[in-house]
Structure 1
Amino acid sequence: MLFAIHALDKPDALPVRLANYDAHRAYLESDGLPVTIVMSGPLVSDDGATMIGSLFLVEAPGRAEAEAFNRADPFAAAGVWDKVTITGFFRRKG
């Protein structure tokens, strides 16, 4: 099943995000993740440049694996995200 993971940063979290960015990228590239990442990237503010969150589309056997993937992300451990929403997703196009 596909899951959309929408994670908004805490206010003023950008310095913590940047300090943990390499670890986050390494995690996403690592073997043995409980999900398959279909797409991912940072959410940005209206200026089109300032990172304010993360968006993932993942394929997982179930919600538990999507939650485990999110919990293990270095951004989660560093407390970057303020609110994370994990929602099932039906692909209609693309």
Structure 2
Amino acid sequence: MQYFVYGRDRPGSFGLKKSLNAEHWSFMDSYADKLVARGPTLTGDGEEAETTGSLHIVDLPDARAAHAFAREEPYYRAGVFESILLCGFVNVLRRTMWDFSEAVDGYGRFLVLAWGEPGPGPIPPKNTIVYGDLLALEDETHLGRAALLEAPDRETAATSLSTSGEGRTEVHHWRFGGRPGTR
């Protein structure tokens, strides 16, 4: 099963996080063949910005392995994260971020979280990188949807997973993560 792991940075932890990048990447190298997507969320427009979080979608055998992945991650162990969102993830598009090839010049990349509405999901736009349902670990209750996508601006990204007006939507600037040249 795939798992959605999003660590939200503790305020003021950017320097500590940056100092742990090599250790973080080494840890992630051991999961390279299991990663579906990875990368930081960012302040501002994503250009030369500080991080606000760290996202990983990873294919693991069970919830116990997902908990271990989240808790053994160097940023978590060092206290970088204020909180961790850990959910099951149903990958509707059945692809990884490395399969995405529809990049549009001038578009930014975003993580969009839409909470609520368990019915059929919207059809994601063509510039969607990864898209799927978020499920509670305990009983697989539908919690919402997540998408990594390209859009001309934050407002357009926010409407990409619009629901019937119930729930809330979060939009974060995001970029592909990892060491250059690695998965």
TM-score normalized with structure 2 length: 0.47
Offset of 1:2 from its aligned partner?
0.8
Gaps of 5+ in 2: 96-183
Unmatched runs of 5 consecutive residues or more in structure 1? none
Q: Output the CA distance in 2 between the equivalents of 1:84 and 1:29.
A: 21
Aligned residue in 1 for 2:34: 36
Structure 1 range deviating more: 60-69 or 39-48:
39-48
Q: What letter is aligned with 2:3?
A: F
Greater shift, 39-48 or 54-63, is seen at 39-48
Match of 1:53 in 2: 53
Higher helix share: 1
Given residue 45 of structure 1, which amino acid in structure 2 is its aligned partner? T
Distance (Å, rounded) in 2 between the aligned partners of 1:91 and 1:20: 29
Secondary structure, aligned partner of 1:90? strand
Using CA pairs under 8 Å that are at least 6 residues apart, name the structure with larger relative contact order, 1 or 2.
1
Aligned to 1:15: 15
Q: Which has the larger radius of gyration?
A: 2
Given the alignment of the two structures, is residue 91 of structure 1 paired with residue 91 of structure 2, yes or no?
A: yes
Distance 1:9 1:46 in 2: 15
Aligned length: 91
Q: What SS class does the counterpart of residue 46 from structure 1 fall into? A: coil
Partner of 1:3: 3
Structure 1 residue ranges, 4+ long, deviating more than 4 angstroms after superposition = none
SS class of match (1:47): coil
For residues 91 and 36 of structure 1, the distance between their equivalents in structure 2, rounded to whole angstroms, comes to 13
